[in-house]
Amino acid sequence: MRSALLAAARSPQARSFVERTPLTKPVVSRYVAGDTLEEAVRVTGDLLADGRKVTLDHLGEDTTELAQAAATVHAYERLLAELGRTGLASGAEVSVKLSAVGQSLPRDGEKLALDNARRICEAASAVGTTVTLDMEDHTTTDSTLGILADLRVDFPWVGAVLQAYLHRTEQDCRDLSGAGSRVRLCKGAYKEPESVAYQGKDEVDLSYVRCLKVLMNGQGYPMVASHDPRLVRIAAQVAAAAGRTADSYEHQMLYGVRPDAQREIAANGTTMRVYVPYGDQWYGYFMRRLAERPANVTFFLRSLLTT
């Protein structure tokens, strides 16, 4: 099921079918704040008022046109200006997929993505907040970490995402565990081959814990991005064993997933940051969320069949 959904996430035919089904929208709205900047800012304000922090993602990925990459940069610039104007920037940062700002363009894609990400960093810097680079499939990992290194020369606060399912990630955690580094550790959401990624849940969880230990014992700022109750508990234990205080790392979860656990962690004094996607390019993001939890698919199909 997971493989089929992740394959569908990249199929134009499946995309057109799912997007044209009117009943998809209520299910999508569980995971996506809305189509517009105004809706994203309203949800951000509500979450901050509730004691959580936010990272905002302007949805889009695998951009193949220059104009679309430029439009994405413009959307982030507008968003960051609005966060500054409304006073929300102290609790909200942004997350960026490099493939949405040109990384996958055939000619000079990497350079374009670097230039575009730099513009987003400048806009974030102007309002006093930060940027974290999302991580996409393994074919982009080296390129994304290269762009991260270039950006960090001028913007040392730029964060990275590392995926525990990749064999390489424990070493990447060592490389990125130095002072000033910000690393969001997640399990990984793409369909990856055995040659590069652990396939079993237990193997991925064990890798996650090994990576956590490296990050928590390093000098950077670990961001524990998981809804898995066992890993959330282990993260607190590993942090305590490493002598970390509650303000020296944070937990992160996705908008719409385990909101009660989000509130509980925030109430216990550790930062809880919610990843809030918005925009009309929700297809790929939504399909990866369905793939994470088979019960979501049943719910989605039932809602289609009961009309």
Which residues belong to the annotated binding site for substrate? 97, 288-289
Q: Does 232 bind ligand FDA (CB under 6 A)?
A: no
Helix ranges restricted to H, the chain: 2-8, 12-20, 24-31, 37-49, 66-85, 109-126, 141-154, 169-175, 201-216, 229-241, 259-267, 283-292, 294-305
Q: Could you tell me if 16 and 297 are in contact, meaning their C-beta atoms sit under 8 angstroms apart?
A: no
Q: Which residues are registered as beta bridge partners of 182? A: 221
Which tokens hold the place of 131? 């940027």
**Smallest distance from the beta carbon of 37 to ligand FDA, in angstroms?**
20
Q: Which residues are registered as beta bridge partners of 261? A: none
**Smallest distance from the beta carbon of 90 to ligand FDA, in angstroms?**
19
Q: Which of 257, 263, 297, 303 binds ligand FDA (CB under 6 A)?
A: 257
Determine whether 184 is an active site residue. yes
Q: Does 254 bind ligand FDA (CB under 6 A)?
A: yes
Catalytic entry in 134, 137, 172, 205: 134
Q: Which amino acid is at 281?
A: Q
Q: Does 32 bind ligand FDA (CB under 6 A)?
A: no
Q: Could you tell me if 282 and 59 are in contact, meaning their C-beta atoms sit under 8 angstroms apart?
A: yes
Range in contact with ligand FDA (rule: CB under 6 A) among 5-13, 101-109, 214-222, 289-297: 289-297
Q: Does 2 bind ligand FDA (CB under 6 A)?
A: no
Q: Could you tell me if 280 and 60 are in contact, meaning their C-beta atoms sit under 8 angstroms apart?
A: no
**Smallest distance from the beta carbon of 85 to ligand FDA, in angstroms?**
25
**Smallest distance from the beta carbon of 251 to ligand FDA, in angstroms?**
9
Determine whether 174 is an active site residue. no
| Subset of residues 50 to 79 that bind ligand FDA, contact rule: CB under 6 A | none
Q: Does 118 bind ligand FDA (CB under 6 A)?
A: no
Residue 294 CB contacts under 8 Å (≥ 6 apart), including other chains? 1, 2
Q: Which amino acid is at 257?
A: V
CB nearer to ligand FDA: give 13 or 94. Answer: 94
Q: Does 226 bind ligand FDA (CB under 6 A)?
A: yes
Q: Which of 17, 154, 293, 294 binds ligand FDA (CB under 6 A)?
A: 293
Q: Could you tell me if 248 and 227 are in contact, meaning their C-beta atoms sit under 8 angstroms apart?
A: no
Residue positions annotated with a catalytic role: 134, 184
